[in-house]
Chain A
Amino acid sequence: MSEEINHASTVVPRSILTSVLVNGVLGFAMLLAELFCIGDTSAVLGQQFPFMSIFLQATENLPSAAIMVSVIILLSLCSTIGLLAAASRMLWAFSRDRGVPGWRFVSKVSSTFSCA
């Protein structure tokens, strides 16, 4: 992905470190706040997704818990888009080295969809 970025040797490390710092600090604060609000641990632990039942116990109101869970689903969608970009560039780089079956199709690039 660094090949599609201008001034990649400074931009890429700065963006990696900034995202790690911002996500780490805010995620740790969110984790502490959420674990602090657990009321009944035995009801939380048996669930498939414990954070949903933590929200439900804290608000005791199903629509508000649904809205809080939908915020997390939106964040998961955004992180999935970034992960898809990284995985597709890895597949492209390996097919450019002719290591993957179907490398002639996968290694094509298009200038109509470029971001730079």
Chain B
Amino acid sequence: MTPVNAVLVTSAITVLIGLISIGSPTAFNDLLSLTINGLYSSYFLVCALLLWRRCTGRIHTNIPFTESISNNGNTSRGFQSCSNLDTGPQLVWGPWRVPGVLGIICNSFACVFMVIIIFFSFWPQGLDPTPATMNWSCLVTGAVAMLSATYYLIQAHKSYTGPVVDIDI
């Protein structure tokens, strides 16, 4: 069951963006740094949030079956009697993880590595950049971030209510 429409949309966008690099060689370098920015910033979001949840202990090892069924609606649960921060589905560890302090060290090393790469991917090729030799990937990344935030505030907060959670039946 392959997502054919998603592959076609992704291919069309990739072809259109790749046609920009025929126009100018500096646009090609901007595209390379834009791919690095996009990938690493999206991985960094996930990694940083996992580090935060891992350090505050909000990821549980197992939840009994009946409570997990009642948790999948947006109801506050009876067995979790601390704050009301966790309405909705609860985070549970999968079958394997790096446990304890070693997992925190591995996760924070990944976050630091990604911050360094994201920082250096925005820099231009050489000293004293002119508008022709400047790295314009900061413009595209900022524009995508602002457009996504605007779209969320206008439309998507009605339709996007968090990830779709699978229930084991």
* A interface residues, Cβ below 8 angstroms from B: 4, 9, 13, 48, 84-85, 87-92, 95-99, 101-103, 105-111, 113-116
Contact = CB atoms under 8 A, between A and B. Distances in A.
A106 to B, nearest CB: 5
The contact size tier of chain B is 20 to 34
A64 B151 CA distance: 52
A84 B2 contact: no
A105 B95 CA distance: 34
Contact of A87 (B10, B161, B162): B10
Interface in B93-137: 94-96
Contact of B5 (A9, A87, A101, A108): A108
Given A4-B2, A97-B160, A107-B5, 20 more contacts: A9-B96, A13-B96, A85-B7, A88-B11, A89-B3, A89-B6, A90-B42, A97-B163, A98-B159, A98-B160, A98-B161, A103-B159, A105-B5, A106-B9, A107-B3, A109-B2, A109-B4, A110-B3, A113-B2, A113-B4
A114 B164 contact: no
Interface in B122-169: 151, 155-156, 159-164
Contacts of A95: 6
A106 B5 contact: yes
20 contacts: A13-B96, A48-B25, A84-B14, A85-B7, A87-B14, A88-B6, A92-B3, A96-B164, A97-B162, A97-B163, A98-B160, A99-B159, A102-B9, A106-B3, A106-B5, A107-B5, A108-B3, A109-B2, A109-B3, A113-B4
Contacts of B10: 84, 87-88, 91
A106 B12 CA distance: 13
